[in-house]
Amino acid sequence: MKRHAIERRCAAALLTLAWAGCGGSSSTGGLPWSVVTTDTLAAADHGYETSGGARVLITLPPTAGLAAGQEVAVRAQGAGGFRVRAGVGQSITVGGEVSFPATTWVERDATHGFFGLAASSDGSRLLSGESASVGEGAPSFGQLFTSSDAGKTWARCDRSPDTGWSAFASSADGERLAAVSDGVVHTSSDGGLTWTARAGAPAGILALAASADGRALVAAESYGRVHLSRDGGATWAVAGDVPVGAWSAVASSADGGTLVAATYFGWIHASTDGGLHWSVTGPQRRWGSLAVSADGARMVAAAGDGWVYTSSDSGSTWRQGASRRPWTSVAMSADGTKLIAVELIWDGVGGYGGAAYTSHDAGDTWRVSDAALSPGWRAIASSADGTRLVGATGGGAIYASVPTARIPGSADLIEGAQGASVRLIYAGGGVFQARDASGTLFGY
């Protein structure tokens, strides 16, 4: 979802909270303050200053024992900012000083029958392709396309083969691209202008992922091994001790050091040393899609016969999340806090349905992205900040997310950028009211 950020500075008449300084705690603005660098359960009548490059989650104190008028104050000194989350049975009332975005989707293309896609980190440069199909008469051979305007217009990659495409990967800048046609890996280092079929690459590739610079690739056979390349696809090697399997999905961290792969009906395999050694993890499911945060710590996995699962420890443990649906694809922001999962439901007579679901708290809670749109989705991609989403539907159309008018209301989560601050005043009945907000804040 693209967020409409509203910048607001506190007027002189509003309460201004002094900075706590370099110490671990202090008492300013009428509250004792603590500097925190890790996720924290807040105490009533206390202030928290977040520090460091990682975003810190502050969970509001439990309702039991709270009295009306008690408060929690939060401000962000560190570049990572903060997230304030309501507890069980709680909500946060926000006003005009907090952006409260929603998302609708607009159709960008319905003429090509796109099968999947990949996106640059800013979401503006896209790679997609048509799948080959054989119907009545002559077979239809799919073509490869790129977009430089978030899917509004598409250009055919003239120097690529027209044999149908099934997997896609992109570097953060959209210059280095990789795609699979008839099980063969093809790469481009000029944004899709020219393509090279990698003769030395393994055959029968079904799943593909790339590092942020596009040089480290991980590819998995539909039935066989997982393979690695460190030179943009020029040479390949079998990945460590990962077994032979019917692989369905792979994903990579930004540096290519953390990798995850899953089989169609089996387990998840994770590596934190660039693919040299792998561990078996996760429940046994019919896995269909994976995504990894930039630092490799957070992961999300979707099962076509089950739930969406998340991990916050590089795949060592997994937590069941969104409800049981026919999930087809997942994506996440670079920090792993903003997720999207999509489903595809076939009606048995050639039609499709299914919605997109988003989470803004690393998978703790999920909401339908746009209740008015349910075309069924084959694939989804997200920008690094999670504000741009683009998806390929069951019918082959491309949709992109757009922001809708914001209405102040109730939120489960408030997110603040560096320099932002807010007071949360308990009003009773599990409701906190956001007051004296300053800086860039978003409500979800």
Confidence of residue 384 (pLDDT cuts 50, 70, 90): very high
Compute CA 197 distance to the chain's CA centroid, rounded to the nearest angstrom: 30
Confidence of residue 323 (pLDDT cuts 50, 70, 90): confident
- How many residues in the chain? 444
Structure tokens at 395: 């019918």
pLDDT score at 104: 74
Which residue would you say has higher pLDDT here, 268 or 99? 268
Angle CA 359–363–366, to nearest 5 = 45
Which residue would you say has higher pLDDT here, 138 or 190? 190
Q: Quick one: average pLDDT of 227-234?
A: 96
**What confidence tens digit (pLDDT) does each residue in 49-69 have?**
999 988 899 999 999 989 999
pLDDT score at 133: 53
**What confidence tens digit (pLDDT) does each residue in 11-43 have?**
222 222 333 333 344 444 589 999 999 999 999
Q: Quick one: average pLDDT of 380-391?
A: 91
Which residue would you say has higher pLDDT here, 172 or 368? 172
Closest to 192 (Cα-Cα) out of 224, 165, 218: 165
pLDDT score at 102: 55
- Asked if residue 235 has pLDDT above 50, the reply is yes
349: which residues sit within 8 A by CB, 6+ positions away?
none
pLDDT score at 132: 59
- Asked if residue 137 has pLDDT above 60, the reply is no
Confidence of residue 159 (pLDDT cuts 50, 70, 90): low
Mean pLDDT of the chain: 85
Contact between 121 and 404 (Cβ < 8 Å): no
C-alpha 264/C-alpha 395 separation (Å) is 23
**What confidence tens digit (pLDDT) does each residue in 114-125 have?**
888 999 999 999
C-alpha 23/C-alpha 43 separation (Å) is 19
**What confidence tens digit (pLDDT) does each residue in 178-224 have?**
999 888 999 999 999 999 999 878 889 999 999 999 999 999 999 99
> What share of the chain in percent tops pLDDT 70?
86
User: Domain coordinates of the chain in residue numbers?
Assistant: 7-100+407-443, 103-403
Contact between 289 and 326 (Cβ < 8 Å): no
**Into which CATH architecture does domain 103-403 fall?**
7 Propeller (2.130)
C-alpha 355/C-alpha 353 separation (Å) is 7
C-alpha 295/C-alpha 9 separation (Å) is 33
Contact between 259 and 247 (Cβ < 8 Å): no
pLDDT score at 252: 98
pLDDT score at 138: 40
DSSP, residue by residue, 289-303: EEEE-TTSS-EEEEE
Tell me which of 138-142, 143-147, 269-273 is least confident.
138-142
Which residue would you say has higher pLDDT here, 435 or 218? 218
pLDDT score at 372: 64
pLDDT score at 25: 43
pLDDT score at 29: 53
pLDDT score at 101: 55
Residue 18 is given by DSSP the state: P
Q: Quick one: average pLDDT of 244-267?
A: 96
Confidence of residue 347 (pLDDT cuts 50, 70, 90): confident
Residue 332 is given by DSSP the state: E
Structure tokens at 361: 């708290």
Confidence of residue 299 (pLDDT cuts 50, 70, 90): very high
pLDDT score at 99: 62
pLDDT score at 47: 97
Contact between 130 and 161 (Cβ < 8 Å): no
- Asked if residue 318 has pLDDT above 90, the reply is yes
> What share of the chain in percent tops pLDDT 90?
58
- Asked if residue 10 has pLDDT above 50, the reply is no
